[in-house]
Amino acid sequence: MGEYLIEPGLDPRKDHVLYRDDEHLVVYLGTQEGGDDVDVNSYLIVSRGRGILIDPGGYKIFSKVLANVSKYIDPRDIEYVYICHQDPDVAGSLPLWREVSNSKIIVHWLWTRFLPHFGFEDADSVTYQLPDEGEAIHFGATILEFIPAHFLHSPGHFTIYDHRSKFLFTGDIGIALLDEPYIVVENMERHIQAMRPVHERLMPTSAAIKLWLGRVRYLDVEAILPQHGAIIPKQHVKRFFDFLENLKVGIDVMR
Protein backbone atom coordinates (compact mmCIF):
# COMPACT_ATOMS: atom_id res chain seq x y z
CA MET A 1 0.00 0.00 0.00
CA GLY A 2 2.90 2.31 0.65
CA GLU A 3 5.71 3.52 -1.53
CA TYR A 4 9.37 2.67 -0.91
CA LEU A 5 12.00 5.13 -2.11
CA ILE A 6 15.20 3.33 -1.20
CA GLU A 7 17.52 3.50 -4.18
CA PRO A 8 21.28 3.26 -4.64
CA GLY A 9 22.85 6.61 -5.30
CA LEU A 10 20.85 8.68 -2.79
CA ASP A 11 22.97 11.55 -1.47
CA PRO A 12 23.88 10.77 2.19
CA ARG A 13 24.19 14.50 2.93
CA LYS A 14 20.55 15.20 2.07
CA ASP A 15 17.27 14.17 3.67
CA HIS A 16 15.21 11.54 1.85
CA VAL A 17 11.75 10.09 2.32
CA LEU A 18 12.32 6.32 2.50
CA TYR A 19 8.70 5.19 2.87
CA ARG A 20 5.40 6.94 2.55
CA ASP A 21 1.70 6.24 2.45
CA ASP A 22 -1.26 8.50 3.11
CA GLU A 23 -0.80 8.34 6.89
CA HIS A 24 2.81 7.41 7.51
CA LEU A 25 6.23 8.74 6.56
CA VAL A 26 9.77 7.55 7.29
CA VAL A 27 12.62 9.96 6.57
CA TYR A 28 16.41 9.73 6.59
CA LEU A 29 17.57 13.11 7.87
CA GLY A 30 20.69 13.66 5.74
CA THR A 31 23.00 13.43 8.72
CA GLN A 32 26.10 11.96 7.10
CA GLU A 33 28.68 14.66 6.46
CA GLY A 34 31.86 12.85 5.43
CA GLY A 35 35.10 13.74 7.17
CA ASP A 36 37.04 12.31 10.06
CA ASP A 37 34.32 12.18 12.71
CA VAL A 38 31.98 9.23 13.05
CA ASP A 39 29.01 9.88 10.81
CA VAL A 40 25.53 9.01 12.04
CA ASN A 41 22.14 8.21 10.56
CA SER A 42 19.16 9.93 12.16
CA TYR A 43 15.60 9.13 11.15
CA LEU A 44 12.14 10.63 11.58
CA ILE A 45 8.76 8.90 11.57
CA VAL A 46 5.64 11.00 11.13
CA SER A 47 2.46 8.98 11.54
CA ARG A 48 -1.00 10.59 11.52
CA GLY A 49 0.71 13.87 12.39
CA ARG A 50 2.63 12.47 15.35
CA GLY A 51 6.42 12.60 15.24
CA ILE A 52 9.17 10.44 16.66
CA LEU A 53 12.83 11.25 16.13
CA ILE A 54 15.05 8.18 16.07
CA ASP A 55 18.63 8.61 17.31
CA PRO A 56 18.92 12.40 16.93
CA GLY A 57 22.74 12.43 16.99
CA GLY A 58 25.26 14.67 18.67
CA TYR A 59 25.43 18.37 19.40
CA LYS A 60 27.29 19.21 16.20
CA ILE A 61 24.56 18.09 13.78
CA PHE A 62 21.61 19.51 15.75
CA SER A 63 20.99 22.53 13.49
CA LYS A 64 20.96 20.36 10.36
CA VAL A 65 18.64 17.78 11.92
CA LEU A 66 16.33 20.54 13.17
CA ALA A 67 16.20 22.15 9.71
CA ASN A 68 15.47 18.84 7.99
CA VAL A 69 12.89 17.74 10.56
CA SER A 70 11.10 21.06 10.03
CA LYS A 71 10.39 20.14 6.41
CA TYR A 72 8.10 17.31 7.57
CA ILE A 73 6.70 18.34 10.96
CA ASP A 74 6.75 21.31 13.32
CA PRO A 75 9.58 20.32 15.71
CA ARG A 76 7.41 21.42 18.63
CA ASP A 77 5.06 18.59 17.69
CA ILE A 78 7.65 15.88 18.07
CA GLU A 79 6.21 13.64 20.70
CA TYR A 80 9.13 11.30 21.33
CA VAL A 81 12.87 11.41 20.90
CA TYR A 82 14.18 7.86 21.00
CA ILE A 83 17.76 6.97 21.84
CA CYS A 84 18.70 3.34 21.19
CA HIS A 85 21.42 3.68 23.82
CA GLN A 86 23.44 6.24 25.75
CA ASP A 87 26.37 7.08 23.45
CA PRO A 88 27.19 10.74 22.59
CA ASP A 89 26.79 10.14 18.84
CA VAL A 90 23.19 9.09 19.57
CA ALA A 91 22.21 11.35 22.44
CA GLY A 92 24.51 14.40 22.49
CA SER A 93 21.82 16.73 21.12
CA LEU A 94 19.17 15.76 23.73
CA PRO A 95 19.42 18.99 25.78
CA LEU A 96 18.79 21.03 22.62
CA TRP A 97 15.80 18.90 21.64
CA ARG A 98 14.38 19.40 25.10
CA GLU A 99 14.55 23.14 24.48
CA VAL A 100 12.69 23.10 21.16
CA SER A 101 10.04 20.51 22.01
CA ASN A 102 8.22 18.93 24.91
CA SER A 103 9.03 15.48 23.64
CA LYS A 104 9.59 12.57 25.96
CA ILE A 105 12.81 10.63 25.64
CA ILE A 106 12.30 6.92 25.02
CA VAL A 107 15.22 5.00 26.48
CA HIS A 108 16.03 1.84 28.40
CA TRP A 109 15.37 2.33 32.12
CA LEU A 110 19.07 1.86 32.91
CA TRP A 111 20.07 5.14 31.27
CA THR A 112 17.46 7.35 32.90
CA ARG A 113 19.58 8.04 35.95
CA PHE A 114 22.49 9.07 33.73
CA LEU A 115 20.43 11.68 31.87
CA PRO A 116 20.69 14.38 34.57
CA HIS A 117 24.29 14.76 33.38
CA PHE A 118 22.82 16.28 30.21
CA GLY A 119 21.32 18.97 32.42
CA PHE A 120 17.82 17.63 33.07
CA GLU A 121 16.63 18.31 36.58
CA ASP A 122 14.03 15.59 36.65
CA ALA A 123 14.95 12.78 34.28
CA ASP A 124 11.99 10.66 35.42
CA SER A 125 9.44 13.19 34.20
CA VAL A 126 11.02 13.62 30.74
CA THR A 127 11.61 9.96 29.92
CA TYR A 128 9.54 7.04 28.74
CA GLN A 129 11.44 4.11 30.16
CA LEU A 130 11.59 0.82 28.29
CA PRO A 131 11.64 -2.36 30.36
CA ASP A 132 14.26 -5.07 29.75
CA GLU A 133 11.84 -7.16 27.71
CA GLY A 134 10.90 -4.27 25.39
CA GLU A 135 7.45 -2.99 24.52
CA ALA A 136 5.09 -2.47 21.58
CA ILE A 137 3.74 1.08 21.40
CA HIS A 138 0.78 2.16 19.25
CA PHE A 139 1.90 5.28 17.44
CA GLY A 140 -0.34 6.97 14.87
CA ALA A 141 -0.99 4.45 12.10
CA THR A 142 1.60 1.96 13.27
CA ILE A 143 2.89 -0.18 16.07
CA LEU A 144 6.49 0.43 17.05
CA GLU A 145 7.95 -2.70 18.54
CA PHE A 146 10.95 -2.02 20.76
CA ILE A 147 12.93 -5.24 20.53
CA PRO A 148 15.71 -5.92 23.05
CA ALA A 149 19.24 -6.01 21.65
CA HIS A 150 21.06 -5.81 24.95
CA PHE A 151 24.87 -5.74 24.91
CA LEU A 152 24.88 -4.92 21.17
CA HIS A 153 26.86 -2.97 22.02
CA SER A 154 25.27 -1.30 25.04
CA PRO A 155 23.62 -2.95 28.02
CA GLY A 156 20.17 -1.44 27.52
CA HIS A 157 20.09 -1.27 23.72
CA PHE A 158 16.95 -1.61 21.61
CA THR A 159 16.05 -2.04 17.97
CA ILE A 160 12.67 -0.91 16.58
CA TYR A 161 10.41 -2.72 14.14
CA ASP A 162 7.95 -0.34 12.51
CA HIS A 163 4.97 -2.51 11.57
CA ARG A 164 3.73 -0.05 8.94
CA SER A 165 6.89 0.41 6.86
CA LYS A 166 8.37 -2.95 7.91
CA PHE A 167 11.65 -1.16 8.55
CA LEU A 168 13.94 -2.49 11.27
CA PHE A 169 15.91 0.30 12.96
CA THR A 170 18.95 -1.44 14.37
CA GLY A 171 21.00 1.21 16.19
CA ASP A 172 24.60 0.07 16.36
CA ILE A 173 23.87 -3.34 14.81
CA GLY A 174 24.62 -3.47 11.09
CA ILE A 175 26.80 -0.40 11.17
CA ALA A 176 29.75 0.23 8.90
CA LEU A 177 32.42 2.88 8.91
CA LEU A 178 32.72 3.92 5.28
CA ASP A 179 35.57 5.76 3.57
CA GLU A 180 33.23 7.01 0.87
CA PRO A 181 29.80 7.58 2.42
CA TYR A 182 26.79 6.02 0.73
CA ILE A 183 23.37 5.53 2.22
CA VAL A 184 21.98 2.47 0.39
CA VAL A 185 23.93 -0.78 0.04
CA GLU A 186 24.45 -1.96 -3.53
CA ASN A 187 27.36 -4.36 -3.27
CA MET A 188 26.55 -6.49 -0.20
CA GLU A 189 29.76 -8.53 -0.19
CA ARG A 190 31.86 -5.36 -0.19
CA HIS A 191 29.63 -3.83 2.47
CA ILE A 192 30.09 -6.87 4.71
CA GLN A 193 33.83 -6.23 4.62
CA ALA A 194 33.11 -2.69 5.88
CA MET A 195 30.80 -3.99 8.65
CA ARG A 196 33.00 -6.81 9.90
CA PRO A 197 35.83 -4.94 11.77
CA VAL A 198 33.52 -2.56 13.62
CA HIS A 199 31.30 -5.45 14.79
CA GLU A 200 34.33 -7.48 15.90
CA ARG A 201 35.51 -4.53 17.96
CA LEU A 202 32.21 -3.10 19.27
CA MET A 203 30.11 -6.17 20.01
CA PRO A 204 31.09 -8.06 23.18
CA THR A 205 30.03 -11.62 22.37
CA SER A 206 28.49 -13.70 19.60
CA ALA A 207 25.98 -15.08 22.12
CA ALA A 208 24.26 -11.67 22.35
CA ILE A 209 24.03 -11.49 18.55
CA LYS A 210 22.43 -14.94 18.37
CA LEU A 211 19.87 -13.93 21.02
CA TRP A 212 18.88 -10.86 18.99
CA LEU A 213 18.73 -12.82 15.73
CA GLY A 214 16.28 -15.18 17.40
CA ARG A 215 14.00 -12.20 18.00
CA VAL A 216 14.14 -10.61 14.53
CA ARG A 217 14.75 -13.36 11.98
CA TYR A 218 11.06 -14.22 11.68
CA LEU A 219 10.06 -10.62 10.90
CA ASP A 220 9.09 -9.48 7.41
CA VAL A 221 11.79 -6.82 6.97
CA GLU A 222 11.80 -4.35 4.07
CA ALA A 223 15.10 -2.76 5.09
CA ILE A 224 17.66 -2.58 7.90
CA LEU A 225 18.23 1.03 9.04
CA PRO A 226 21.37 1.28 11.19
CA GLN A 227 22.69 4.29 13.08
CA HIS A 228 25.91 4.42 11.02
CA GLY A 229 26.80 3.28 7.55
CA ALA A 230 24.22 2.31 4.98
CA ILE A 231 20.65 1.06 4.74
CA ILE A 232 20.44 -2.61 3.81
CA PRO A 233 17.51 -3.15 1.42
CA LYS A 234 15.24 -6.19 1.42
CA GLN A 235 17.17 -8.25 -1.11
CA HIS A 236 20.22 -8.30 1.19
CA VAL A 237 18.50 -8.75 4.57
CA LYS A 238 18.87 -12.53 4.66
CA ARG A 239 22.56 -12.23 3.76
CA PHE A 240 22.93 -9.68 6.57
CA PHE A 241 21.38 -12.04 9.14
CA ASP A 242 23.56 -14.93 7.86
CA PHE A 243 26.65 -12.73 8.18
CA LEU A 244 25.79 -11.97 11.81
CA GLU A 245 24.91 -15.58 12.60
CA ASN A 246 28.41 -16.74 11.68
CA LEU A 247 30.35 -13.80 13.07
CA LYS A 248 32.79 -14.11 15.96
CA VAL A 249 33.12 -10.87 17.93
CA GLY A 250 34.52 -9.25 21.06
CA ILE A 251 35.78 -11.64 23.71
CA ASP A 252 35.29 -14.54 21.27
CA VAL A 253 38.13 -13.24 19.08
CA MET A 254 40.09 -10.74 21.19
CA ARG A 255 42.24 -11.63 24.15
Instruction: Tell whether residue 87 is a contact of Fe ion (CB under 5 A).
Output: yes
Tell me which residue of 57, 27, 46, 66 sits closest to 171, measured CA to CA: 57
Neighbours of 95 (CB within 10 A): 14
Q: Quick check: 183 and 32 in contact, CB under 8 A?
A: yes
- Which positions from 144 to 183 touch Fe ion by CB under 5 A, shown as an x/- string? ----------------------------x-----------
Q: Which is nearer to Fe ion, 176 or 247 (CB)?
A: 176
Q: Which is nearer to Fe ion, 145 or 172 (CB)?
A: 172
Q: Which one of the spans 19-27, 29-37, 161-169, 221-229 is the region binding Fe ion (CB under 5 A)? A: 221-229
Q: Which one of the spans 80-88, 96-104, 215-223, 241-249 is the region binding Fe ion (CB under 5 A)? A: 80-88
Q: CB under 8 Å to 100, separation ≥6 — which residues?
A: 66, 75, 76
Phi/psi for 240 (5° steps) reads -65, -50
Tell me which residue of 230, 191, 164, 194 sits closest to 31, measured CA to CA: 230
Q: Which is nearer to Fe ion, 165 or 227 (CB)?
A: 227
Q: How far apart are CA 110 and CA 140, in angstroms?
A: 27
Min dist CB 91 to Fe ion, Å, is 10
Instruction: Tell whether residue 222 is a contact of Fe ion (CB under 5 A).
Output: no
Instruction: Tell whether residue 227 is a contact of Fe ion (CB under 5 A).
Output: yes
By CB under 5 A, name the binding residues for Fe ion.
87, 89, 172, 227
